[in-house]
Structure 1
Amino acid sequence: MPHAADTAPSPSSRARGASRLLAALALVAVAAGCSVLPEPPARADVYDFGMAPAAQGGAVQSLPPLALAEVEAVGLPEASSALLYRLAYANGQQLRPYRQARWSQPPAVLLQQALRASLGSQRAVLSGDDGLALLTGPGQMPTVLRAQLEEFSHVFHSPQQSSGVLQLRVLVADASAAGETLVAQRLFMVEQPAATPDAAGGAQALAEAARQVATQVAHWLEQLGR
Structure 2
Amino acid sequence: MTSAIRNAVAVLAATVGMTVLLAGCASKGQPTAQYDFGPLPQPQAKTGAAIGAIIVADIVGPAALDTERMQYRLLYADARQSRPYAYNQWTATPFQLMTQRMKAQIAQAGVKVLSTTDAAASPTVLRMEVNDFAQNFDSATSSSGIVNLRASLFRNHKLVDQKTFVRSSAAPSPDAAGGARALADATDAVTADVLVWLAALPPQ
Which secondary structure state, in structure 2, belongs to the residue aligned with residue 201 of structure 1? helix
Separation of aligned partners in 2, 1:53 and 1:193: 17
Instruction: Name the residue aligned to 1:111.
Output: 98
Instruction: Name the residue aligned to 1:217.
Output: 194
- Count residues with an aligned counterpart: 174
1:161 aligns with 2:142: yes
2:47–2:199 Cα contact (<8 Å) kept? no
- Distance verdict in 2 for CA 1:194–1:53, change over 3 Å: closer
1:68 aligns with 2:45: no
1:148 aligns with 2:125: no
Instruction: Name the residue aligned to 1:48.
Output: 36
Deviations 1:166-225 (A, max 9, x none): 1111111112xxxx1111111111111111111111111111111111111111100114
Q: How does 1:185-224 map to 2 (within 5 A)?
A: 185-224=162-201
1:126 aligns with 2:114: yes
The Cα RMSD (Å) is 2.1
Separation of aligned partners in 2, 1:60 and 1:77: 31
| Structure 1: gaps of 5 or more residues | 1-38, 135-140
Q: Percent of pairs identical after alignment?
A: 34
Separation of aligned partners in 2, 1:99 and 1:212: 28
Instruction: Name the residue aligned to 1:5.
Output: none
Residue type of the alignment partner of 2:38? G
- Distance verdict in 2 for CA 1:73–1:220, change over 3 Å: same
Deviation (angstroms), 1:40: 9.3
Q: Which runs of at least 4 in structure 1 moved beyond 6 Å after TM superposition?
A: none
Separation of aligned partners in 1, 2:148 and 2:41: 22
Which secondary structure state, in structure 2, belongs to the residue aligned with residue 93 of structure 1? coil
Residue type of the alignment partner of 1:197? P
Instruction: Name the residue aligned to 2:20.
Output: none
Which secondary structure state, in structure 1, belongs to the residue aligned with residue 126 of structure 2? strand
1:75–1:150 Cα contact (<8 Å) kept? no
TM-score (norm 2): 0.78
Separation of aligned partners in 1, 2:61 and 2:32: 23
Residue type of the alignment partner of 2:70? L
Instruction: Name the residue aligned to 1:100.
Output: 87
1:69–1:129 Cα contact (<8 Å) kept? no
2:65–2:94 Cα contact (<8 Å) kept? no
2:33–2:88 Cα contact (<8 Å) kept? yes
Separation of aligned partners in 2, 1:77 and 1:216: 22
Structure number with the bigger relative contact order (C-alpha 8 A, sep ≥ 6) is 2
Separation of aligned partners in 1, 2:99 and 2:129: 10
Deviations 1:60-111 (A, max 9, x none): 9524100001100226332x01111001111111111111111111111111
Residue type of the alignment partner of 1:161? S
- Distance verdict in 2 for CA 1:170–1:61, change over 3 Å: closer
1:171 to 152, 176, 179: 152
| Structure 2: gaps of 5 or more residues | 1-26
Structure showing greater Rg: 1
TM-score (norm 1): 0.71
